Amino acid sequence: AQSVAQPEDQVNVAEGNPLTVKCTYSVSGNPYLFWYVQYPNRGLQFLLKYITGDNLVKGSYGFEAEFNKSQTSFHLKKPSALVSDSALYFCAVSLYSSASKIIFGSGTRLSIRP
């Protein structure tokens, strides 16, 4: 069965510093990987996805993520954090053979201090 793990419930970063939000996955086939962001009382917003090709994926708002097959990881990164990046971030995975069903991680709360 496929699964996603986000080992950190919360990540705290000072504004202007680089940030990393960790994600590891477990699937039996080729994964599609996603990052979504959720602001309070709102639905999820798509940030970026990995399907195939370059391991470094660039997405919205200056975020990027690196697919590492050997470590089964898909960490979210940004070179310079903004206070407005503070939100709840979800990593998600689906299988090529079952592209409709997405499994989400439990989420990481990112807090950027001024």
Partner 1 sequence: GAGVSQSPRYKVAKRGQDVALRCDPISGHVSLFWYQQALGQGPEFLTYFQNEAQLDKSGLPSDRFFAERPEGSVSTLKIQRTQQEDSAVYLCASSQEVILGSNQPQHFGDGTRLSIL
97 interacts with partner 1 by CB under 8 A: yes
Q: Answer for the pair 45, 36: CB distance below 8 angstroms, yes or no.
A: yes
Site string for partner 1, 18-37 (x = CB under 8 A): --------------x-x-x-
Stretch that binds partner 1, among 10-18, 19-27, 73-81, 88-96 (CB under 8 A): 88-96
Query: Where would I find the beta strands (DSSP E) of 1-114?
Result: 3-5, 10-14, 19-21, 24-26, 31-38, 44-50, 56-58, 64-68, 73-78, 87-95, 98-104, 108-113
Binding site for partner 1 (CB under 8 A): 4, 32, 34, 36, 41-46, 49, 51, 90, 92, 94, 96-97, 99-107
